[in-house]
Structure 1
Amino acid sequence: MPSPVIGLTGGIGAGKSTVEALFARLGIPCVDTDRIAHQLTAAGGAAMPALVAQFGAAILTAEGALDRAVMRQKVFADAGERQRLEAILHPLILSESRRQLALQQAPYVLLAVPLLFETAAYRNLVAETLLVDCEPQLQRERVMQRSGLPAAQVDAIIAAQMPREERRALADAVLDNSGDLALLSLQVENKHRYYLQRFAAANLAAPSNSVDPAL
């Protein structure tokens, strides 16, 4: 029987990757849509022929992968370009996410989706949602340190995402990543125990929010 799915999300720089790693230590796998997107847009990736046909060879790196910096400039400058990019990538990412979810054998599995609350197709796959959150200034500092992007560009990326208050209102549970790793780890361990109990009880009946391999 396919594993129940927890939708993991959070704004850029909130710490989703750190949370994934903490759950992995507890034996819980994660299907990460960002990783899938990188695989699809690597040299030889399944999305690359359609992307080149749509946007031209200028979006390629020397190795033949998607030049993410060039594409980022395109989509932030033109909403139409963003829509064309999403029309190519999103169906491929969703299809691969479903395929990977159907292969998992665990008490439950994480599905990491930055735009989980904005995307009904992913919301329909999950039993609960888990938001990683932190203070806005800390989020901004983390993104700048990690990416090397200028402050104005980081602010534009954050502004383009769902407002923090709205994400918090929609989430079934919130992990506060404004503190240190030890505090975050304790929160993850608490949620892990909760999910184990929740889905052990749910196994008395057929789970309604798991991914059928036949789909």
Structure 2
Amino acid sequence: MRNHKPLLVGITGGIGSGKSTAAKIFSILGIPVYYADDRAKWLMAHDPELKKQIIAAFGEESYTADGTLNRTYLAANVFGDEEKVKTINGLVHPAVKSDFESWSQYQDSPYVLKEAALLFEAGSYKELDKVINVSAPLKIRITRIMLRDPHRSEEQINHIIDQQLPDEEKNSKADFVIKNSDNKLIIPQVLKIHEELLKLGK
């Protein structure tokens, strides 16, 4: 474990904004990136305490006989119901928070990134030192998602976008904004933020 605690920086952005691309550039620059959404899925599948809590809240059917997370069951019985979504988030977010905290203690870097889709919506941005929002015009985002996920309908995409805070609100809450439109290069913006964060994380 290192003596100097790294600066904790969040990177977020609405679906199709390009936050994963921006996070990859930081990663190429040698910055450790914690992918919160992927890690949440891993914890739901492997963390014994969290599994116990999910079974207590949603029943034995939440996991298959071999202990695998029953995504089909959860998608059908949880994700359409606002109250149940709140319940599952209330179990998963604290598990991710403590996992991220222990992970960040072992990173030998001036700062680390926590990449998450709902940093502002979930309130977890309050636990971070700085936040970067990746922003892109709505039309461009919808086109990107349809190209990337051809199985999603425009209606489904709009539903996901409606669950997320509007870009203007995220930009006003963020410490740094990366504009990822077709006429704005993303790499120079990442490099500029990287330089500033290196100074802050000294």
User: Into which bin does the TM-score normalised by the smaller protein fall?
Assistant: 0.7 to 0.9
How big is the shift at 1:156? Answer: 0.9
How big is the shift at 1:13? Answer: 2.0
Note the 1:1-20 alignment, pairs <5 A.
Answer: 1-20=4-23
> Residue 176 of structure 2: which of 173, 177, 180 is its match?
173
Note the 1:65-104 alignment, pairs <5 A.
Answer: 65-68=68-71, 70-104=73-107
CA–CA separation in structure 2 for the residues paired with 1:18 and 1:64: 33
For the 8 Å contact 1:144–1:151, the answer to whether it is kept is yes
> Residue 28 of structure 2: which of 9, 25, 46 is its match?
25
Letter of the 2:74 counterpart? M
2:111 is the counterpart of 1:108: yes
Note the 1:146-185 alignment, pairs <5 A.
Answer: 146-147=148-149, 148-179=151-182, 183-185=185-187
CA–CA separation in structure 2 for the residues paired with 1:67 and 1:150: 24
CA–CA separation in structure 2 for the residues paired with 1:57 and 1:145: 37
Tell me which residue corresponds to 1:128: 130
For the 8 Å contact 1:74–1:82, the answer to whether it is kept is no
* Secondary structure, aligned partner of 2:132: strand
Q: Residue 174 and residue 72 in structure 1: after superposition, are their counterparts in 2 closer, same or farther (change >3 A)?
A: farther
| Paired-residue identity, % | 32
- For residues 124-147 of structure 1, what are the alpha-carbon distances to aligned partners after superposition, in whole Å with 9 as ceiling and x for unaligned? 332221101111122223333334
How big is the shift at 1:118? Answer: 3.0
Q: For the aligned residues, what is the CA RMSD?
A: 2.4
* Secondary structure, aligned partner of 1:95: helix
- For residues 63-91 of structure 1, what are the alpha-carbon distances to aligned partners after superposition, in whole Å with 9 as ceiling and x for unaligned? 75334455345445311111121122111
CA–CA separation in structure 1 for the residues paired with 2:177 and 2:130: 11
2:120 is the counterpart of 1:117: yes
2:44 is the counterpart of 1:36: no
Gaps of 5+ in 1: 201-215
CA–CA separation in structure 1 for the residues paired with 2:76 and 2:189: 37
Q: Residue 17 and residue 76 in structure 1: after superposition, are their counterparts in 2 closer, same or farther (change >3 A)?
A: same
CA–CA separation in structure 2 for the residues paired with 1:65 and 1:199: 40
For the 8 Å contact 1:36–1:97, the answer to whether it is kept is no
CA–CA separation in structure 2 for the residues paired with 1:146 and 1:57: 34
Tell me which residue corresponds to 1:144: 146
Gaps of 5+ in 2: none
Please say which of residues 45-54 and 110-119 is displaced more in the overlay: 45-54
For the 8 Å contact 2:6–2:201, the answer to whether it is kept is no
* Secondary structure, aligned partner of 1:66: coil
TM-score (norm 2): 0.84
How big is the shift at 1:52? Answer: 3.3
CA–CA separation in structure 2 for the residues paired with 1:15 and 1:70: 30
